[in-house]
Structure 1
Amino acid sequence: MAETSHLLHSEGHPDSARLRRRIAGYSIFFPLATAYAIFVLPASVFAILGLTDAFPALASSTGHAHEMLFGFALAVVAGNQLGPMAIPRLVLLAGLWVIARAAFLCAPQSMTAAAANIAFVALLAMQLVPRLSSAAKKWRNQALPLVLVTICISGIAFQLARHAGFAGTEHAVPIMVVLLLALLMLFMGGRIIAATVAVQFYRQGGNLVARVQPRIEGGLIIAMVVAIVASLCDNRSPFALLAAAATIIAGALAAVRLLRWRLWGLRGRPDLLCLAAGYAWLAIGLMLYGAALAEGRYQLAALHIITVGALGTLTLNVMAMTWTLKARQDPSRARVRIGATILIGTAVLARELAALDPQPLLVIASMIWSSAFVLLLIFFVRLHSRAPAANPEPHCQTSSKDRSR
């Protein structure tokens, strides 16, 4: 195997030239997602509060949700899941994303905006599903391509609902996508944290027995699927209570899984604690969202713990980890990630306190979020300026051994 790898990277091998003509998806989509995160949340908050007329597409809750979920979040998903691609195909995919963002911001009801958004998510699904499905053997691993394709289908459904005038569907789809992204974070975040924490314990001379925790992971998948399906049925009490119970169970299982990783035993790895903070926000957000559903109020506040806290923290740290490995830098030197993680946590608290005095606290929360991603973008630029030639796809994924445990 080592000899084969050496031959593939030799200058004279034809596969070497083929690999050099391919670019990893993260190298384009992570900077795009980061730059958009800096802009879109403050712009949306300012538009919703009537502080600017520059972005009318973002002045509604649906417009805000559309760009945070199908703009920012889906760009991160693309960067994380796309492997090395031919340059023209990657440029086409990224170009469609840019056109979709510009068209939605300028003319959200136009056919151009709908067509560009549909084309982007459709092409993304066509790229992701065959690649991931061929590698998925266990039923738990098959959940990943199913979740991704469902998110893409939801993006198409959102566009069609806007143009067909189905207001109910237009409001229901973003909630379903948040729950789908929560499931994706439970799955992928769990795999990444389990693998990296296990390696660190090994380096410290110890052993982490509870890694992926397949029974808990299976329970998380089942609970979240129940929650997603129940949330789609209607708002009548039995379905709302079923969704509430399922999300509370998922949050509790995520908290148990997090505790079993024994993160307090790590030495000198603040970067892993930053990842764990995102997973903790996810567990807390799911439990609070389930409680809010059962109570019939505060659902929006609980959803923002998932989107701002969990999604913001996990995406920022995964993007930073990927670029750190690409630049062959020590991931434990994580001052930027610590500062950005603290900023996002502060943004969550400000967003939750916004019920007391909405306008200033919403503005403060959005600017703090934006500042966290400014730090990340500066981090990207600095790493890129001094990075040596690296492999097209840094090893940020879990090994086959970790997938089976």
Structure 2
Amino acid sequence: MKAKLPFAHTYWFPLAALYSALILPLSVGGQLGWFTVPAGLQYAWGHGHEMIFGFALLVIAGYLAGPQPKAYIFTVIGLWLVARLSFWFAPISMITAIINIAFVATLVWKLAPIFLRTARKWRNKSAGFVLVGLGIAALGFHSVMQSDQSDGLSLKFLLEAVLLLSVLMFYMGGRIIAPALAGHFQSQNRFLKDRVQPRFEGSILILLFLVLVLNLLPFAWVKFTITALLLSSALLCVVRVLRWRPWWSYGRADLLAMLLGYSWIIVGWLGIALSLITANFPITKALHAITIAALGTLTFTVMSRTRSHRVLRDTNAKPFVFILALLITAAALLRLNPTWLGYSQSIFLAACCWSFAFIGLFIWLMWLNKIEKKVKRQRQLMQDK
């Protein structure tokens, strides 16, 4: 009997969770001078690069890749490790640029066709376009790092990458949440009429793709147009979430955590819009609403739900795990308003909350892997008999 291919997320999710738990306090501490770190972790652009292309992209790839040959799985891990180390110690090196672009390209080449070739509706192809966009953002980031004007342009491409991630989280999150809510409500003898809501989804995607294009233009009027587009997107998304009847999802910690992360996307869009029209709200705060709160909560929840369903056949098998997701929201609140306890203290506590959450997730994922191996051995023994 031919052996089944392993799921890529079996290996990539624990690696991503552990890296996230370590890289955030290292890069934050390096920027604030708490301790000495390699060159690639001493600046905001390095911190952003590793959280997006080192952490988030590996989670996205793990979720989308499905079963893969071990040769491919471990090739990606090897390339990922080399890319991380090269960026840490030589962030502006041409060799580093080639390695990191190769890592991103390896994933995009494998995953984007899943949506671009097989999907019939343009809305379903959007995830493929976003993946290609992330590849272009990585190429642009490392290209401008070789120029004399690297600081401003590199941050521009990181902003583009964050916006792309928000689009992907909006699309993929909606496709996960809607059927999950419908199934849960059905078990309560309730019917969810408004699931995917294609008109809302399509309208928001069009608005966000316009934002992605306009963000790369240098004209003065662009920021006001982007502000209007993001405010419209946020409003439509609020209506979409309310039509899901989230107040019916009590008793399901996994769904509540998903809804919390999804709501933070809206907050992030509102924050970016606000930062464009007033100097009193810096864009770094808005970006952290997406990269810490939305991205952190959604990646945490998706990794836990996916592996729990695969191993235990129940996405909410251990509800207490999702309590850790609240630590990510705490980290976001501390980072968005670091004046509560003093700047350094708030940033330190935010980093601790984030790391504790993802260390807990790493332990949980490794335990699930252990259970899965045990079950496979038992099945093999039964087949041998």
When normalised by structure 2's length, the TM-score is 0.93
The C-alpha deviation readout for 1:262-305, integer Å capped at 9, x for no partner, is 02113531210110000111111211221221224421111111
In structure 2, distance between residues paired with 1:364 and 1:89: 38
Aligned to 2:352: 367
Alignment of structure 1 residues 17-32 onto 2, 5 Å:
17=2, 20=4, 22-32=5-15
2:371 equivalent among 373, 382, 386: 386
Aligned to 1:206: 190
Q: Is the 8 A contact 2:92 2:142 kept in 1?
A: no
Alignment of structure 1 residues 68-147 onto 2, 5 Å:
68-147=51-130
Please state how far the C-alpha of 1:188 moved relative to its aligned partner.
Answer: 0.1
Please state how far the C-alpha of 1:41 moved relative to its aligned partner.
Answer: 0.5
**Runs of 5+ unmatched residues, structure 2:** 378-385
The C-alpha deviation readout for 1:222-259, integer Å capped at 9, x for no partner, is 1111111121112x431001111111111222211111
In structure 1, distance between residues paired with 2:249 and 2:268: 25
Q: Is the 8 A contact 1:44 1:55 kept in 2?
A: no
1:319 equivalent among 303, 312, 333: 303
Aligned to 1:7: none
Q: Is the 8 A contact 1:248 1:289 kept in 2?
A: no
Please state how far the C-alpha of 1:355 moved relative to its aligned partner.
Answer: 4.9
Q: Does 1:285 align with 2:254?
A: no
Please state how far the C-alpha of 1:184 moved relative to its aligned partner.
Answer: 0.3
Alignment of structure 1 residues 389-404 onto 2, 5 Å:
389=376
Q: Is the 8 A contact 1:25 1:90 kept in 2?
A: yes
In structure 2, distance between residues paired with 1:331 and 1:86: 25
In structure 1, distance between residues paired with 2:321 and 2:272: 27
Aligned to 2:382: none
Q: Is the 8 A contact 1:320 1:376 kept in 2?
A: yes
Aligned to 2:381: none
- Could you tell which deviates more after superposition, 84-93 or 31-40? 84-93
**Secondary structure of the corresponding residue to residue 312 of structure 2:** coil
Residue type of the partner of 1:103?
S
Q: Does 1:174 align with 2:155?
A: no
Q: Does 1:346 align with 2:313?
A: no
The C-alpha deviation readout for 1:197-220, integer Å capped at 9, x for no partner, is 111111211211110110110111
Q: Is the 8 A contact 2:301 2:322 kept in 1?
A: no
Figure out how many residues of one structure are paired with residues of the other and give that number. Answer: 372
Q: Is the 8 A contact 2:250 2:256 kept in 1?
A: no
Q: Hey, which bits of structure 1, 4+ residues long, moved more than 6 A?
A: none
Alignment of structure 1 residues 31-70 onto 2, 5 Å:
31-70=14-53
Q: Does 1:217 align with 2:201?
A: yes
C-alpha RMSD of the superposition: 1.6
The C-alpha deviation readout for 1:80-129, integer Å capped at 9, x for no partner, is 11122222122111211111001111221223321210111111111112
Q: Is the 8 A contact 1:344 1:368 kept in 2?
A: yes
Please state how far the C-alpha of 1:62 moved relative to its aligned partner.
Answer: 0.7
In structure 2, distance between residues paired with 1:103 and 1:122: 17
**Secondary structure of the corresponding residue to residue 216 of structure 2:** helix
In structure 2, distance between residues paired with 1:170 and 1:373: 28
